Amino acid sequence: MSVRTTRDPWSSAVDHLVQVDSRWTEVIDWVGPCRLRPRRDRFGTLVRAIIGQQISTKAAASIDARLRAIGGTPHDPVKLLDLGLETIRTAGLSGVKAGYLLNLSEAVADGRLPLKRIGTWTNEEIIAQLTTIKGIGLWTAEMFLVFALNRPDVLSVGDLGVRVGLRNHHALAEVPHPKQCEALAEPWRPYRTVAMWYLWRGLERPGSRA
């Protein structure tokens, strides 16, 4: 009887990171294999990214759960439009963020944002289209590329966790600014997404500098 094995889709990325930067060995050994996998629920990924803007992961998860309790699971653009601004706000969202979710829902519902086809586009095309929607900026678009599509070479230099992770990884005195982040991460191409994921996970290590 044959034994089925599951190939690690990021093994080549991990090998590359360790080869170009031996400092990765310790954190990768501690974290284990990269667990990034594409999310089929692309609309829900964008909803959660908007909810998570400028708040903690724990708070975002709580609001997301309340919104799904109101509007159903998975998130659906038509259902959110039917709920309307005030009902969406009862999940714990500000009026501004509730409006952002409705902007996104309208764009998906009327076909301006074709989420079923968007995976065939380039990163630049996806970012350009997403950021035409009020409430979706560069960070949110980058999170979509990473978590929904698993594009392998994304580096979100505006993400504070990434910047702190780079400071810790390179033992810097200060958190690097965006241009410095790009230079520090340059050797990790074409797998900067995986490096970024390990930077985030590395912040969970005991004794890690926050």
Q: Which residues are catalytic?
A: 159
Task: Report the sign of the C-alpha dihedral through residues 44, 108, 77, 159, in that order.
Answer: positive
Tell me, what DSSP letter sits at residue 187?
A: G
**148/108 Cα distance (integer angstroms):** 16
The DSSP string of 117-135 is: TGGGS-HHHHHHHHTTSTT
Which residues, including other chains, have CB under 8 Å from residue 194's CB and lie 6 or more apart?
Answer: 10, 13, 14, 17, 34, 36, 152
